[in-house]
A = this chain, B = another copy of it.
Amino acid sequence: MKKDLEAYKESLKREGYKLTYQREAILNAIVENKDEHLSCEDIYNIVSKDCPEIGIATIYRTLQLFEKLDIVYKLNFDDGYSRYELNHGTGDHHHHHLICLGCGKVIEVKLDLLDSLEKEIEKDGMFKIVDHNVKFYGYCSECDEAKE
């Protein structure tokens, strides 16, 4: 985990970007909440504790940069703002998300199992797939019970 953090900082420097206090704080916030799907506002609130004078524009700019450097991955759960998660990826595809229509909770699914579907799609040579984004909508066990 600590190693990850250094690796991320390395990739910043390697690409010629400066390692500022703000970027470090944002990176920390994301790494320390790697199980969450933080929005810009979430990150702003977390980072503001360590760095009260940070501006929201810096959060947006930095997340854009991190996305370009493949440090984070942008998610959209149709709740009005973009969310970000740490990109563990070694080029691998992303896991899927289950979105509860009852409480809005988001659950991660480690399974991939899309290979056969992707092969089928690529079979005729009309499209080359490099990534996917899969969301399932439904009800978590608590909300499903509550509906009875």
A114 interface neighbour in B78, B117, B144, Cβ under 8 Å? B117
A120 interface neighbour in B76, B101, B113, B132, Cβ under 8 Å? B113
A111/B117 contact (C-beta < 8 A), A132-B135, A133-B135 known: yes
* A141 CB-CB contact with B under 8 Å: yes
Chain B residue with Cβ nearest A141? B126
The secondary structure that dominates the A interface is strand
* A128 CB-CB contact with B under 8 Å: yes
Least CB distance from A133 to B in Å reads 4
Question: Considering the chains assembled together, what is the distance between the CA atoms of A109 and B76 in angstroms?
Answer: 21
* A137 CB-CB contact with B under 8 Å: yes
Interface residues of A (CB under 8 A from B): 76, 78, 96, 98, 100-101, 107, 109, 111, 113-114, 116-118, 120-121, 125-141, 144
Question: Considering the chains assembled together, what is the distance between the CA atoms of A53 and B38 in angstroms?
Answer: 42
* A113 proximity list for chain B (CB < 8 A): 116-117, 120
Asked if A127 contacts B114 (CB within 8 A), the reply is no
Asked if B109 contacts A136 (CB within 8 A), the reply is no
Question: Considering the chains assembled together, what is the distance between the CA atoms of A38 and B130 in angstroms?
Answer: 25
